[in-house]
Structure 1
Amino acid sequence: MSINELAENYNQFPYDSLAVKQTHPWHLYRVATLYGFSPVDVAKAKVLELGCASGGNLIPMAYHLPTTNFVGIDLAKRQIEEGAQQISDLQLQNIELYSQSIMDFQSNKQFDYIICHGLYSWVSHETREQVLALCRQYLSPQGLAYISYNTYPGWQAGDTVRELLKWQTAMIPSPLERIQKAKEVLVWLENALINDYSPYASLMKNEIDLMKEHSDHQLLHEHLSPFNEAYYFLDFLEQAKQFQLGYIGDAFLSNDLYADFQEVQRSDYLLNRRFRCSLLCQQNEAKLRNRDPKIFEALKSVPNFAGEMTAKTTFVAQKPRVCPLVLYQASHQDFVTNQRHENIQLNPVAEIMLPYLDSHHDLNDLVAFIFQEIENETIVLVDKQGIEIQDRNLGYQHVVTICQETLALMAQNALFI
């Protein structure tokens, strides 16, 4: 598949553009510090994302980190245009998105954090090499590169089902028809294994369950894509080494709490690991990872982005105010990004309350707004058994409880400021 064909594929069926919590610069900063590395202060950093889609990951970062500079590139022109519109609407001055291939990327500056999530395993060999070459060329001396990829042995079951789907859809030119056919094949496979309780059948059933949770776009771009390569951990390290990149650790600490790389690889066999998020740096900056308890003590002085945001937002004020970014996102998409860089799905009550969470309305006001929607028959009030509540007084008390619970949930989800 050519670059132009690939671009058109993504323009027609754009990939879901979401926040990826473990890619947040403050998270990478703290993890790398734990491993004994000295990253650049996030507040002064330059961040590059390869394959940024419409900015669902970068834009919330840029909103909450106004002194940090962000650049994103993606092959899909349509998604870049959508992201550019969001940036304009939010009046962000510290982020730029460009529609271009990774093969064509050039810059006159270095970056302190390079993010490459959901891309490395899903592109051609030449593009994978270019990802590493860009990291080598554009990482600052104390820069961090985050690269996620599918891993063996865990991905072997995924390979089996993916090859079946590719074979069964190979002669279907229409992406929509390929998606539909793939779903039919998954149903056939599930039914064929329904009375099979062998270890292999259990493995396949688990893989089917995972794929059934995917959106159509994920199914198309991940499992029906011409590219989907998994790697053993040690093989990935060797690839990085060829481009003078050194390994620091994994973005998920639990994946990498071992004394040496051989033990890390053995753990992947033991746990049947299928996905990794590796942190790389310039090879001359890579050192033997430090397991000294003093490192954990030193972390106490590192800025705690998530902790600070949680402390600020879990209290429900008398007249609560939702984060403006959340208000904007809710009017344009099905999910919002909280201040912990997590994707949150709002419930119907929260969606109705959202425009009034502006620090000018208290609980009584919010209850009145919700009750008015019920009076207008815009929404129907039901009890926990799903039975409509007809009694007005009982209904009013029920609305009060619902509003209180919704506000508490929104606070727990770090949606207030």
Structure 2
Amino acid sequence: MSTNAYDVIGYPTTIIASTHPDRMATTATLHGMSPPPIATARVLELGGGDALNLIALAVAYPEAQFVSIDLAAAPVERGQLLAKRLALPNVEVRVGDIVAEAETLDQTFDYIIAHGVYAWVPAVVRTAIMKLIGRTLSPNGVAYISYNALPGGYLRLALRDMVLHHVEGIDDLQKRLSSARSYLSRFGQPRDPDLPGIGSLREEARAILRKQPEVLHHDELGEVFEPQALKDVVAVANAHGLSYLNETQPAMLGSGMLLDDEDETATDESAIVRRAQALDYELQRFFAQSMFVRTEAGPARRLDSAAVHGLWVSTEAIPIGQGRFEMPKGGFTVGDDQVSAVIAAAAAGLPAYVRIADHIAADDDERLLALVELYKAGAIMTHSAPAAAATASAEPCASPLARAMVRGSQEVVVTLDHSMLKLDDVAARAFLMLLDGTRDLPTLEREWLQTSHADTIGAEEALKTLIRNHLIQR
């Protein structure tokens, strides 16, 4: 067993929606590229911990291949046990040193993920990450690297220095964490009067306190914490044959491409990165989710509506009439009937995605670009391919990962569209456990009637609910 810090205090296990290869493939498509189909892709995650992020994808895409490596042995062992329990032949979870792997890994990958690693490792490892990606990324593949960014990261650096000073000399990890949280709690309380700069620091202290203690231990108080400026990350990438593509956040789409004719700036990579860095300064951005491609891939830097035409759409919006839609965090109105119809179809079709080409003509630039604006605003999501699972077979089978999580007494499960869903309804969890692929609907109905939950919801309606929530694999 190693003495890695993540063996001593484990990092909370989760999935990261922004790392989904579909996000990368969709953005690459908007840049005029032809990214590899995610259904059969090879995906690598660096610093994958217990690999839940990749295991969830391996369940959703059984024909794709996944490899997760991490230096810490304890989380890797947990991931190996979960993959074995789920009988997943398409995922490999193993211990690996990124610096060594950069020299020896001889496989090629279509999508590479390095989430929460780059700003928390020494420069030699950062260089190795880029070298490894440069060596192993397929010709039209996409790599994702997230990191605490500058200039916003300066706030975190200041708080880190303050907290490290406060906990100096405390060797016991639990006491160290408790003391750090107590200090942040005291410092985070607003004072009257407060100078603007101090106010920002106090607000950031409160944000850090909302994290789990283990995250504070590894992220802000870890041995290495070096937020990065986008331009510096790109410089290292360029040295290894990689070019900056864009950010995964829909609202940041303009970081990697020109979306209108108002900006006549040159569209070479250096000009794009200069614009993106200027945007980071304006936003005081502190966390980046940047994508990279091979330089020879030559991504387009102006949005072409033709690239939008071949995508799919999904939405959480609920139509409420006359182009008006409600969402969990507000609503919006669409003035064009045809665009509104696309969103309404996507809402009605869940969990399936709606193909844009089935609703809007290829030369209808105005409506296609309107969909991009709705994507940037968070009203819809665009996708490079149909949903991983959208219907139930004659003998419905729920996600084996979701069933394993419920069996482990967890209320929050991972869905097949790579999100977390709270199943706080006891009946929903009970019905989910019946869906192991051995029962047809009549059998399910008979067995469901024998349970104490039958008067809560019928079997057919329960199945429809689980389908809509992306929990049915087949």
TM-score range for the pair, normalised by the shorter chain length: 0.7 to 0.9
Counting only pairs closer than 5 Å after superposition, residues 351-390 of structure 1 correspond to structure 2 as: 351-357=429-435, 359=441, 360-362=443-445, 365=448, 368-370=451-453
Q: Find the residue that maps to 1:37 and give its secondary structure.
A: coil
- Provide the residue aligned with 2:281 in structure 1: 269
Q: Which amino acid aligns with 1:163?
A: D
Counting only pairs closer than 5 Å after superposition, residues 72-221 of structure 1 correspond to structure 2 as: 72-105=68-101, 106-191=104-189, 193-221=190-218
Tell me if structure 2 keeps the 8 A contact 1:256–1:264: no
- Say whether residues 1:247 and 2:244 are aligned partners: yes
**CA–CA separation in structure 1 for the residues paired with 2:16 and 2:71:** 19
**Which piece of structure 1 moves more, 114-123 or 296-305?**
296-305
State the Cα distance separating 1:332 from its structure 2 match.
3.2
**CA–CA separation in structure 2 for the residues paired with 1:208 and 1:261:** 30
Give the helix-richer structure, 1 or 2. 1
Q: Find the residue that maps to 1:290 and give its secondary structure.
A: coil
Q: Which amino acid aligns with 1:143?
A: G
- Provide the residue aligned with 1:416 in structure 2: 472
Tell me if structure 2 keeps the 8 A contact 1:37–1:248: no
- Provide the residue aligned with 2:365 in structure 1: none
**CA–CA separation in structure 1 for the residues paired with 2:2 and 2:106:** 26
Tell me if structure 1 keeps the 8 A contact 2:311–2:384: no
**Which piece of structure 1 moves more, 404-413 or 334-343?**
404-413
Deviations 1:196-245 (A, max 9, x none): 45423431232123212211210111011011111222222112112221
State the Cα distance separating 1:278 from its structure 2 match.
1.2
Tell me if structure 2 keeps the 8 A contact 1:31–1:253: no
Tell me if structure 2 keeps the 8 A contact 1:40–1:143: yes
Tell me if structure 1 keeps the 8 A contact 2:121–2:224: yes
**CA–CA separation in structure 1 for the residues paired with 2:466 and 2:126:** 40
- With over 3 angstroms needed to count, the CA separation of the structure-2 counterparts of 1:241 and 1:187, relative to structure 1, is same
- With over 3 angstroms needed to count, the CA separation of the structure-2 counterparts of 1:415 and 1:196, relative to structure 1, is farther
Unaligned runs of 5+ in 1: 372-395
**CA–CA separation in structure 2 for the residues paired with 1:325 and 1:142:** 30
- Say whether residues 1:328 and 2:404 are aligned partners: yes
Q: Which amino acid aligns with 1:211?
A: I
Q: Which amino acid aligns with 1:23?
A: T
**CA–CA separation in structure 2 for the residues paired with 1:209 and 1:180:** 15
- With over 3 angstroms needed to count, the CA separation of the structure-2 counterparts of 1:364 and 1:109, relative to structure 1, is closer
Counting only pairs closer than 5 Å after superposition, residues 393-404 of structure 1 correspond to structure 2 as: 399=456
Q: Which amino acid aligns with 2:85?
A: D
Give the one of 43, 48, 59 matched to 1:47.
43
- Provide the residue aligned with 1:292 in structure 2: 304
**CA–CA separation in structure 1 for the residues paired with 2:195 and 2:237:** 39
Give the structure-1-normalised TM-score: 0.82
**CA–CA separation in structure 2 for the residues paired with 1:352 and 1:319:** 17
- With over 3 angstroms needed to count, the CA separation of the structure-2 counterparts of 1:141 and 1:12, relative to structure 1, is same
- Say whether residues 1:308 and 2:387 are aligned partners: yes
State the Cα distance separating 1:122 from its structure 2 match.
0.8
The number of aligned residues is: 382
- Say whether residues 1:340 and 2:336 are aligned partners: no
- With over 3 angstroms needed to count, the CA separation of the structure-2 counterparts of 1:212 and 1:306, relative to structure 1, is farther
**CA–CA separation in structure 2 for the residues paired with 1:253 and 1:246:** 19
Q: Find the residue that maps to 1:29 and give its secondary structure.
A: helix
- Provide the residue aligned with 1:375 in structure 2: none
**CA–CA separation in structure 1 for the residues paired with 2:468 and 2:194:** 41
- Say whether residues 1:233 and 2:230 are aligned partners: yes
Tell me if structure 1 keeps the 8 A contact 2:60–2:389: no
| Alignment RMSD (CA, Å) | 3.1
Q: Find the residue that maps to 2:303 and give its secondary structure.
A: coil
- What percentage of residue pairs aligned between the two structures are identical? 27
**Which piece of structure 1 moves more, 354-363 or 134-143?**
354-363
Give the structure-2-normalised TM-score: 0.73
Unaligned runs of 5+ in 2: 259-271, 313-354, 357-381
State the Cα distance separating 1:339 from its structure 2 match.
1.2
- With over 3 angstroms needed to count, the CA separation of the structure-2 counterparts of 1:298 and 1:308, relative to structure 1, is closer
- With over 3 angstroms needed to count, the CA separation of the structure-2 counterparts of 1:370 and 1:154, relative to structure 1, is same
